[in-house]
Chains A and B, each alone.
Chain A
Amino acid sequence: MSYVFFPGCSLDGTARDFHRSTLAVAARLGLDLPELRDWTCCGSTAAHGSDALLADALPAKNLAAAEGKTVAVACASCYGRLKAANHHIARDPAVRARVAEVVGGDYDGRTPVMHLLEILSRDIGRARIAAAIRRPLAGLKVACYYGCLLVRPPEITRFDDAENPTLMDQLMEVAGATPVDWPHKTECCGASFSVTDADVVLELSNRILSMARAAGVDCIVTACPLCQLNLDMRQKDIEARFGTRYDLPVFYFTQLLGLAMGCTAGELSLASLVVAPGALLASKGIGRAEASR
C-alpha cells in the first residue's frame, strides 16, 4: 500500500520530535512516507470550534490532494479532524456540495485516512516490526496512553476498541517492553484547554499521571502531540499544584519503537522531552550502546 504523510501543524512545530521519530521508525521499516504536497492546517481546534464548514473544507482540501492514496497521520487531532470531515462529506450530499463550492472542486469523502498506529499494526504487521527490533526494551514497564482524539467518537474514528484500545500496547510488546493494562488509556488530558484554561489541564492530567503511577509504570507512551505536551511539559506544574512528584517520562510511541530498533537518541529527538528520560533508560540499559558511541 502506498501512503502520503500529513504531518499537520503540530508535527511541524511543538511536536517536531514526534515528526523526526516517526520518520526514523519508518526508515527502519522501509515504510515510504512522502509528505503531502502543499498541505494546509486540518482545522483542528480553531476551525472546528468556530466554523463547521471550514472544519470540513480544510481537511477536504488536503484529502483531495492525496489523489486516492492513503493519508497517513501521526497527530491524533489531525486524524480525528480528517476522519470527521470524510464522515460528514461522504454521508451528506449538502455538505459535500458546500465544501466543493469553497474548496473549488468536488471531493467524495472517500480518501482513506490511517493513523500511524493502524499502519504499523495492520499493514506492516508484528512480524516485520519484530524483525526490525535490535535492542528489545526489556524490563521497561509502560502505560500506553491513547487519549480521546484517536478513539472518539467511535462511530467516526473506528479506531480499535474505543474503550480499551490495544494497538499501541501490542507494538510495545513487540518492542520488548511490558505494557500494563491500566484504566486511564482514553481519559481526557484537557487537550487544548492548555491554552485557554490551564487549570483544567492540571486537574485532568494529574488524574492520568497519578493513575499511571498507581499502575507502577516507568513511563507513559503517547500517540498525540497534545497529550504528550500536557503530560510532559505540564508535569512540573502539576507536581507543584498537587504537591507530589511523578518524574514520569512521557514518550511518543515512535521514540520507544525507534530506541528498540536501534535509532540514536538524536534521531529520535529524545533531548526535547521535558521530563528527561536519560536516567530511566540508563537504569534499564536501554540505548546504552548509542550513548557510548
Chain B
Amino acid sequence: MSAKTNGVQHAVIAKADGGEHAPEAVGAVLVCGAGITGIQASLDLAESGFRVYLLDSSPAIGGRMAGLDKTFPTGDCAMCIISPKLVECARNKNIQIITLADVQGISGEPGNFRVKIRQHPRYVDIAKCNACGDCSEACPVQIPSEFDRRLGKRKAIFKPYPQAIPNVFGISKAAGRAPCRASCPAGVNAQGYVALTAAGKFKEAYALIRERCPFPAACGRVCQHPCQEKCNRAEIDEAVSVRDLKRFVADYVHANPAEYPAAPAAAAKLDARVAVVGGGPAGLTTASDLARLGYGVTVFEAQPRLGGMLRYGIPRYRLPDDVLDKEIQYILDLGVEARTSTVVLNPKNLLRSGFKAVFVAPGAWASRKLGIPGEDAPGVRAGLDFLREVNGGERPASGTIGPRVVVIGGGDVAMDAARCARRLPGVTSVHLACLESRAEMPAHAWEAAEALEEGVVFHTSLGPTRIETAGGRVRAVAFRACTRVFDEGGKFNPRFDDSKTAVLEADTVIVTIGQGIEAAMLGVATGPGGRIVTDPETLATSIAGLFAGGDAVLGPASLVHAMAHGHQAAEAVDAYLRGTRPARAAASAQGGPPEELAPNPSPGAPRQDRIKMPQADPARRLRGFAEIDLGYTAEQAIAEAKRCLACGQCSECMQCVKVCSAGAIRHDQQPTEFELDAGSVILTPGFEEFQASLRGEFGHGRYANVLSSVQFERMLSAAGPTGGHVERPSDGGEVKKIAFIQCVGSRDAARGNNYCSSICCMSATKEAMVALEHSHGQAHGQKLEVSIFCMDVRAFGKEFDSYVNRARDEHGVKYIRAMPSRVVEMPGTKNPRVRYFAPGGAEQQEEFDLVVLSVGMRVPAGVKDLAQRLGVGLNEFGFARTDRLAPLATSRPGIYVAGAFQEPKDIPESVAQASAAAACAMDQLALARGTMIQRREYPWERDTSDESPRVGVFICHCGHNIASIIDVKRVAEDAGKMPHVCHAEASLYTCSDTNQQHIKDMIKEHRLNRLVVASCSPRTHEILFQETLRESGLNQYLFAMTNIRDQCSWVHKDDPVAATDKAVDLMAMAVARARHLKALETGRLPVTASALVIGGGLAGMTAALGIADQGFEVHLVEKEPALGGMLRNLHATLEGADVKAHLRELVDRVKSHPRINVYLSASPAGISGHVGNFKSVLSVAGREKPISHGVVIIATGGQERQTELHLHGTNPHVITQSKLEAALAGARLPAELAGKTDPTVVMIQCVGSRNDEHAYCSRVCCSEAVKNALEIKRRLPEANVVVLGRDIRTYGFRELFFEKARQAGVLFVRHPEKSDPVVVEAGGQLQVTVRDSSTNRDLELRPDLLVLSTGIAPADGNPVLSGQLRSALTADGFFLEAHPKLRPVDLSNEGEFLCGVAHSPRFIDETIAQAQAAVGRASSVLSKAYLEIPGQTARVKPELCVACATCVKTCPFGAPMINHLNKAEIQGAKCMGCGSCAAACPARTITLQHQEDQALVAMLDELLVGGAIDDRA
C-alpha cells in the first residue's frame, strides 16, 4: 500500500483561495476558561490547524492548577508541569490569549458563531510591559492575595505568580473608590498617602498630599477629616487616623528639608497676572494653584500676616505659628507675591490696574449678636474678635479678661474661646452655656471632650436672657431653660421655659453664637446671610473677571472646604483666562452618577486598635499655648497606616507610573467590547472552592488555625505565603498534629451540594504526604501526626489506592470514618478541637494544631449568567447539563464543555476531556481547517558556513532587575573587547519590540552571523530571539543565551561587584560557545494520514469514528469476531441511558463508514516505524495484511474478573453483578427473587480487588451495585438489599444515586479493612457474616441471592502489544500513559495514543471522552502535511560505530536503531535531543547537534583560563 500524505489541509486552502465559494465554517474556536483544560484544548486545536481564542476572566491563564503545590499520586510539582504548557500557549502564534474578559453574547449557528466579548482594563499596556517588576516594587499598597487565599499579601500592581502568562503586570482596582479618598472635598488622595506612609515612603506621601493640599501640616492638625468619618475600618474597630498621618508626614518632611520634593517643573510663565483678595486658606490655595500653572499672583491681606482663619481663628495650641509660617512660605516660594496689611475696598480697581482676574475670599469674620439687654457692656466680647486678639500674638492685657469667664455658644468656636480663656493668666473659671443639650451641641465631640478635660464647665439647655452689669461692668448672665432647639422639621426654632432660670456670675462674657459675612462693600451681588452670590460651578460673581469663594460664599466652613473652593476657583480663573470652561463644570454638567464607595474589603478582619496620638498632660496644657497633640513617631505612623484596609485596592498614588521605564502604565484604560468569529465554542470555566465558612460549625474565618484545603495547599507551596513551611497561622508555631475534615461542601444536601467533588480524598492524602515530607526536619524529632476524617475514601483512579495504602501503612496517616460535628477553638492555646463520633459510636474530642477543611468544588460565580447568555443548559447544581453517552456536548449544538464544569473531576480526566472537546469542536470545522492560522514567512536563509564568526552581544538591563545590581555597561564593554565580537551593547529591555527591530538593524549593519543575549531565562525568551534571527535571514541555531538575572543579579543582590564579574564570565562563556555554533537544518517528514485503532469496543469504535469523520482513514482491529467489547454486557447507565441502542448505532456507523476498514478476529502481528509513518502487519483470520499509518490508538479494553471466592461457581445463587444486570434487563426476575415479596439480596464489593493481589479499584462496581440495587427496589420495594463494602465510591453526580438508594431502603454496611465478609453454605442456605464498623459487631445475613462485584481485569493481550509497541504496562497490567496528569491519552512514544479501559477501569462517559481525546491528539499529527524535526538531534558517525546497541538500550524514546548496514542510526522523528545516547556511546561516535563538545570545551576554557587557549587557536 502506498503512503498517502495528508491532502486535507491543502484542499481546503485551495477552495478558499479559489474563491468559488468560501467555506461557511469558521476555522477558529473560542475556548472560555484558561485553566489546564482550556489550555490543553487550545494547544490541540492550534496544533491541528485552527485559530484559537483563549479567554479568561482573570489576568493570567493557568487556572486552579497553577495554585497547586503538588499533584497526586506522582507528587509532581504542579507549577513545574503546567508552566511549560503556559509558555507553549504564549508562544503559539495561533492562540490568542484574551485575559480579563467575559463573553457577553453569542449569535449564529454551529460552524459560524459571532461572539461578543467585553474586556476589562488591566491598566497596563501589554505590548509595552516587560514584566521587570519595578512597578510592583514601588507600589505601596499591600492587599490580601487572592492567589494565596488571603494567607499572604500582594501589591495592587501585581502578577498573580512569577510564572504567570501573559508575563505582564496588571493593576487591580475596586469597583468603587476608597471612601476616604472619595469623601475628601479637596480631592486629597488619602488612601494613597496612607499607603505610602505604611511603606515608609514619607517623602512620596508628602508629594502626593501636596498635589491637592497646600497646607499639609495645618490640615493634618485641624481638618475635620471627613475622610475618617467614612473609613471602612470603623466597622471593625476604629477609623484609621488619616489626619494624624498627614500631620506626621508633613512634620517629617518639614523637619527634613532634604526630603522636600523637588518643585514641579515650573510651568511656562504666563503673562496674565491674577489678584487674590484675602490671604486665608481659600485664597492661598487658589494662589498656589495659579502660581503652579504659571500665572503671576498677588495676594492682598488686610491683616498683618497671611493665614486668615488658620492664623487668627484657630488657637495656637492646635496650630502653632511656626507650622503655619512654614506652609505659607512654601506657597510664597512658588513666586506668589503677598501684600499684607492691605485692605482692598474695591476689587474692580484691581481689574482696572492690570490684573486679568480677581479672586476674592474675604472670609466670615463678623460675629453674630445675642440681642439681649446688657450686651454692649464692657466685658462682653465677640468670640472671633477675642480669638483674633489671642491668636494674633498680642495677648489681651492682663486683667482685661476674667477672672470669671462665661462663654455663650456650643460650637467649635465656643470651645476654642473657652479653652483659650482657660489659658489666660488671671482667669480662674470658665463656664460655657448653650441652648443645646449635651448630645445636640454642634461642636465636634473631641473638641468638647478636651474642653471638659481642661476644666471648662458646661451648662446645657440654657438660653441667655440678660447680661447683668454693676458699675458699668459685667457681673453675671441670666438664663432660662431651653426646652427644645430644633422643631420637628429640624429647623432652628428654640422654645424656652421661663419658669426655670439660672444665673452664672461673670466678669467677661464671650459670645460665640455664629459668624457673619461682611461682603456688601465689595460691590458684588450678595444673598442670604450676606453671602456673595456666585455661579456654583465657575464661582464667577456678578462682575466679569471677579470670582469669589471660601467662607464668604459658603458661609462658615472648614479648612478642607476652603481648599476645595480654592482649587475650584483656580480652575475657573484659568479657564476664564484661556476662554474655556472649567473641566469640573463640564464634567458635572454631564451629570455623571455619584461616585460609588468601595465596600469594606476585609469584613471581620481582626481588631487592631488605633494608635493614639500622644497628647500633652491636661494639667500642663493650661500653662500656655503650646501644642497639645504631640505627633506620631515614624514607627507609630507606619503601624497606624498599616491598619488601612486599602479599600480601593490601587490607590492611584502613581508611584508605578513614575518608575516604569517602559511607559506601560495606563491608569485611564477603559473596558472595551469587540466581536469574534468562531466555528465552535468550548466552555472550560472550571470550578471554585466551596466557601468553608458556610459550614459555620467548623469555624473557618473565625478560628485562626482552621484553614481550607486550598489555603493549606498554598501553605505547602514553596512559592506560597510561608515558603512551604507548615505553621499555625495563629502564632507561626510548629504543627505536630493535623486533622483533615473531608466533604466540606460536598455530599451535603443541606447546602445543596449533594454531589461528590471527586478529588478531595486524594488531594487530602496528597497534602498529608507533602506535609509529612515538609516536617521531616522538625526540631522536636517527633513525626507529624495526620488524621483524615472522612465518610469514605474515594481513591478510585489509576494507582490511587496504592497511594492511599502507602500514606496509611508507611506514613501512618489515620483515616477516621466520621463526619465531625464541630470544631471549637480552645481558649489560650488556640488549638482547634474536633468533636466526632468514633467508629463504634462513642463521642470523642481531640485537639489538633491545625484543622484543614477539604472544600468541595462548585461552579464559579457568574458561570450561571454566562450559560444563560450562551443558551447552555445547566443541571440542578449549576454544572453543564450533559449526557453520559455524549459527555462533551452541551444543550446547544456547536458549544462543547470540558473539565470540572461538566462534573467535578481531577486533572487527567479534565485534560482528556479537553482534547476530546477539541476533537468535537474540530469535527464540525474539518473543512475550515487551516483557513485562519498564521504561517510565518521567513527570508531565505543566508549561508554563513564560510564566514568567520561575527558575534553581536546584547546585554539586558531588565529594568532594574539586572541593572540595579550588575554594571551592565561594564559587561557590554568587556564583551566588545572579546575576539570575534563585532558589536556589543546594553539595552533597557532587550526583549521589547523596538529592540527586536534594533537587533535586526545591527545584524544588517555589522553583518553579524552569531547572536548572544545575556538577560533572563531561555525558557521564556529563547524562541523570541530565534525568531528575530530567522527574520534576519540567519539560522535560528546561531544563537546563545545566558541568564544573568535569575542566577546572577537575583541571587547576588548583596554583592554587585562579584555579580558583575560573574555576569562577565557568563557572557564570555556564551560568546565562546557562539563562535562554535553551526547552522542546523530542521527536517521535514511527510505524514501518512491514517490511523490504526486496536480494539473494537466502545473506545475503539468511538475513536475510529472521530478520526474518520475528520477525513482520515482508519484501520480498526478487533480480536473477537464481533464489535462491541465489554459494552455488550451493559444494558443501561446509572442514569438510565440506553446502552444497547448506543452500541447498535455505533456498530452500524462504523461498518458503513467509507473511511473505516474493520478487521474482525484480527490482531497486529508487528508494528514498526515512528510517528507519521508506521508500517504494520495485521494478522486477520490467520492471513497477514500490511498497512501504513501515521498514528496508533490502543483501545484494547478489559474484562470482568473471574473469581472462585464466596462460593462463586459452586453455589448457583452466587452470581456476578454483570449477570445480575443481564437478568434484571429481562422481563422476568431472577429465580431467587421471582414470586417473592421480600427476598434478601446481599452484594459484596471489591471481591478480588483492593487486596494484596490487585491493589487497584475497579471504579465502576460501586455504581453498578447501586444501579442494580435500585432496580431491585424499583421492582420489589419490599426486598432487603444489603451492600457490604469498605467504601462506596460513587463519585461526582453518581453520589445522587447512592443517596437515592439509601432513601429507597438499600442498606450499606461498612466493614473494616482486612475483614472481608465470610460466606458459607449451611443446609442449602447461604450465610454471610460481616463485621459492621459503625457498631463494631458482627452481622449475620441469609441472602436468597448473593451478588459479587468482581471488578475489571486488563485485556489478556496487553503484554504482547506492549512488547510490539515498546510501551510499558503498569504493575496492574494496564498501559502506562506518557504522563499521568498532563498526557493521559498519550503513550511515551510520539504518535501512539490510548483510551478506554486499556488505560484503567472507567465508565462509559469517561471512555467516550478518552476516545475522543485520542482523536483530538491524533488529529494534531494527522492534520499536518509534514512533521518538523528539530535541528537539535543526535547524529551517528558510522565510521566508528561498532553496532554495540548501547544507544538503542539507552534511548528512552526508541530513536536509535541498527540499520541494514549494521550501523546505528538515529530516527530523527523520534529523537528528542536529550543527548543520552551521545553520553553513553562507548566509541564516542554519536554527537548531539547544537551541544557539541568543542563548544562546551570552549566555554569551560573561557571560564577557567579566560579564553587563552581559544585565542591561541
Q: Let me know if A164 and B696 touch, CB within 8 A.
A: yes
Indicate if B1231 sits at the interface (CB-CB under 8 A): no
Residues of B within 8 Å of A164, CB to CB, are: 696, 699, 702
Shortest CB–CB separation between residue A287 and chain B, in angstroms?
Answer: 24
Q: How far is the CA of A214 from the CA of B826 in the complex (A)?
A: 8
The closest CB in chain A to the CB of B701 belongs to A164
Indicate if B1509 sits at the interface (CB-CB under 8 A): no
- Interface residue from A162, A180, A182 paired with B696 (Cβ < 8 Å): A162
Can you sample 7 A-B contacts with CB below 8 Å?
A131-B439, A163-B702, A183-B824, A183-B826, A184-B824, A211-B827, A214-B826
Q: Which of B696, B697, B827, B828 has the most CB of A within 10 A?
A: B827
Indicate if A161 sits at the interface (CB-CB under 8 A): yes
Q: Let me know if B699 and A163 touch, CB within 8 A.
A: yes
Q: Map CB proximity to A onto B692-706 as digits: 1 under 8 Å, 0 otherwise.
A: 000011010011000
Q: Let me know if B439 and A183 touch, CB within 8 A.
A: no
Q: Let me know if B828 and A214 touch, CB within 8 A.
A: yes
Indicate if B767 sits at the interface (CB-CB under 8 A): no
Residues of A within 8 Å of B699, CB to CB, are: 163-164, 183
Q: How far is the CA of A163 from the CA of B700 in the complex (A)?
A: 11
Q: Let me know if A214 and B702 touch, CB within 8 A.
A: no
Q: How far is the CA of A216 from the CA of B826 in the complex (A)?
A: 12
A88-130 with Cβ < 8 A to chain B: none
Q: Map CB proximity to A onto B823-851 as digits: 1 under 8 Å, 0 otherwise.
A: 01111100000000000000000000000
Residues of A within 8 Å of B827, CB to CB, are: 180, 182-183, 211, 214-216
Residues of B within 8 Å of A162, CB to CB, are: 696
Q: Let me know if B825 and A161 touch, CB within 8 A.
A: no
Q: How far is the CA of A6 from the CA of B824 in the complex (A)?
A: 34
Shortest CB–CB separation between residue A244 and chain B, in angstroms?
Answer: 16
Q: How far is the CA of A182 from the CA of B828 in the complex (A)?
A: 10
Q: How far is the CA of A164 from the CA of B703 in the complex (A)?
A: 11
B421-441 with Cβ < 8 A to chain A: 439
Shortest CB–CB separation between residue B700 and chain A, in angstroms?
Answer: 10
Residues of A within 8 Å of B825, CB to CB, are: 183
The closest CB in chain A to the CB of B696 belongs to A163
Q: Which of A162, A164, A181, A214 has the most CB of B within 10 A?
A: A164
The closest CB in chain A to the CB of B833 belongs to A183
The closest CB in chain A to the CB of B697 belongs to A163
Q: How far is the CA of A182 from the CA of B826 in the complex (A)?
A: 8
Residues of B within 8 Å of A163, CB to CB, are: 696-697, 699, 702
Classify chain B's interface size.
10 to 19
Q: How many residues of A contact B (CB 8 A)?
A: 14
Shortest CB–CB separation between residue A25 and chain B, in angstroms?
Answer: 20
Q: Map CB proximity to B onto A151-162 as digits: 1 under 8 Å, 0 otherwise.
A: 000000000011
Q: Map CB proximity to B onto A140-179 as digits: 1 under 8 Å, 0 otherwise.
A: 0000000000000000000001111000000000000000
Residues of A within 8 Å of B439, CB to CB, are: 131
Q: Let me know if A161 and B696 touch, CB within 8 A.
A: yes
Shortest CB–CB separation between residue A188 and chain B, in angstroms?
Answer: 11
Q: How far is the CA of A163 from the CA of B821 in the complex (A)?
A: 12
Shortest CB–CB separation between residue B832 and chain A, in angstroms?
Answer: 9
Shortest CB–CB separation between residue B154 and chain A, in angstroms?
Answer: 28
The closest CB in chain A to the CB of B694 belongs to A163
Q: How far is the CA of A217 from the CA of B439 in the complex (A)?
A: 34
Q: Map CB proximity to B onto A31-71 as digits: 1 under 8 Å, 0 otherwise.
A: 00000000000000000000000000000000000000000
Q: How far is the CA of A214 from the CA of B847 in the complex (A)?
A: 15
Shortest CB–CB separation between residue A23 and chain B, in angstroms?
Answer: 25
Q: Top 5 nearest A-B pairs by Cβ distance?
A: A163-B696, A183-B824, A215-B827, A214-B827, A183-B825
Shortest CB–CB separation between residue B369 and chain A, in angstroms?
Answer: 34
Q: How far is the CA of A15 from the CA of B696 in the complex (A)?
A: 31
The closest CB in chain B to the CB of A182 belongs to B827
The closest CB in chain B to the CB of A185 belongs to B824
Residues of B within 8 Å of A215, CB to CB, are: 827
Q: Which of A161, A163, A184 has the most CB of B within 10 A?
A: A163
Q: How far is the CA of A184 from the CA of B439 in the complex (A)?
A: 39
A253-271 with Cβ < 8 A to chain B: none
Shortest CB–CB separation between residue B606 and chain A, in angstroms?
Answer: 10
Residues of A within 8 Å of B696, CB to CB, are: 161-164
B405-457 with Cβ < 8 A to chain A: 439
B696-749 with Cβ < 8 A to chain A: 696-697, 699, 702-703
The closest CB in chain A to the CB of B823 belongs to A183
Q: How far is the CA of A182 from the CA of B703 in the complex (A)?
A: 10
The closest CB in chain B to the CB of A161 belongs to B696
Q: How far is the CA of A211 from the CA of B827 in the complex (A)?
A: 8
Q: How far is the CA of A216 from the CA of B829 in the complex (A)?
A: 13
Q: Knowing that A163-B696, A214-B828 touch, tell me 16 more A-B residue pairs with CB under 8 angstroms.
A: A161-B696, A162-B696, A163-B697, A163-B699, A164-B696, A164-B702, A180-B827, A183-B699, A183-B703, A183-B824, A183-B825, A183-B826, A183-B827, A184-B824, A211-B827, A214-B826
Residues of A within 8 Å of B702, CB to CB, are: 163-164, 181
A267-287 with Cβ < 8 A to chain B: none
Residues of B within 8 Å of A161, CB to CB, are: 696
The closest CB in chain A to the CB of B695 belongs to A163
Shortest CB–CB separation between residue A142 and chain B, in angstroms?
Answer: 14
Q: Map CB proximity to A onto B917-942 as digits: 1 under 8 Å, 0 otherwise.
A: 00000000000000000000000000
Q: Which of A183, A214, A216 has the most CB of B within 10 A?
A: A183
The closest CB in chain B to the CB of A131 belongs to B439
Q: How far is the CA of A161 from the CA of B700 in the complex (A)?
A: 13
Q: How far is the CA of A184 from the CA of B826 in the complex (A)?
A: 10
Residues of B within 8 Å of A216, CB to CB, are: 827
The closest CB in chain A to the CB of B750 belongs to A155
Residues of A within 8 Å of B826, CB to CB, are: 183, 214
Shortest CB–CB separation between residue B135 and chain A, in angstroms?
Answer: 40
Q: How far is the CA of A261 from the CA of B439 in the complex (A)?
A: 17
Q: How far is the CA of A123 from the CA of B828 in the complex (A)?
A: 36
Shortest CB–CB separation between residue A83 and chain B, in angstroms?
Answer: 19
Shortest CB–CB separation between residue A152 and chain B, in angstroms?
Answer: 11
Q: How far is the CA of A100 from the CA of B1009 in the complex (A)?
A: 98
Q: How far is the CA of A184 from the CA of B835 in the complex (A)?
A: 13
A166-225 with Cβ < 8 A to chain B: 180-184, 211, 214-216
The closest CB in chain A to the CB of B702 belongs to A164
The closest CB in chain B to the CB of A180 belongs to B827
The closest CB in chain B to the CB of A127 belongs to B439
The closest CB in chain B to the CB of A184 belongs to B824
The closest CB in chain A to the CB of B832 belongs to A183
Q: How far is the CA of A183 from the CA of B702 in the complex (A)?
A: 10
Q: Map CB proximity to A onto B1477-1489 as digits: 1 under 8 Å, 0 otherwise.
A: 0000000000000
The closest CB in chain B to the CB of A164 belongs to B702
Q: How far is the CA of A110 from the CA of B795 in the complex (A)?
A: 50
Q: How far is the CA of A184 from the CA of B828 in the complex (A)?
A: 14
Shortest CB–CB separation between residue A128 and chain B, in angstroms?
Answer: 11
Q: How far is the CA of A164 from the CA of B828 in the complex (A)?
A: 19
The closest CB in chain B to the CB of A181 belongs to B702
Q: How far is the CA of A184 from the CA of B827 in the complex (A)?
A: 11
Shortest CB–CB separation between residue B436 and chain A, in angstroms?
Answer: 15
Q: How far is the CA of A272 from the CA of B958 in the complex (A)?
A: 78
Q: How far is the CA of A184 from the CA of B696 in the complex (A)?
A: 13
The closest CB in chain B to the CB of A162 belongs to B696
Residues of B within 8 Å of A131, CB to CB, are: 439
Q: How far is the CA of A162 from the CA of B695 in the complex (A)?
A: 10
Shortest CB–CB separation between residue B428 and chain A, in angstroms?
Answer: 31
B1491-1509 with Cβ < 8 A to chain A: none
Residues of A within 8 Å of B703, CB to CB, are: 183
Shortest CB–CB separation between residue A41 and chain B, in angstroms?
Answer: 32
Q: How far is the CA of A52 from the CA of B135 in the complex (A)?
A: 67
Shortest CB–CB separation between residue A127 and chain B, in angstroms?
Answer: 10
Q: How far is the CA of A234 from the CA of B733 in the complex (A)?
A: 39
Q: How far is the CA of A131 from the CA of B440 in the complex (A)?
A: 12
Q: How far is the CA of A164 from the CA of B697 in the complex (A)?
A: 9
Q: How far is the CA of A106 from the CA of B826 in the complex (A)?
A: 50
Shortest CB–CB separation between residue A210 and chain B, in angstroms?
Answer: 10
Q: How far is the CA of A161 from the CA of B603 in the complex (A)?
A: 14
Residues of A within 8 Å of B824, CB to CB, are: 183-184, 211
Q: How far is the CA of A180 from the CA of B828 in the complex (A)?
A: 12
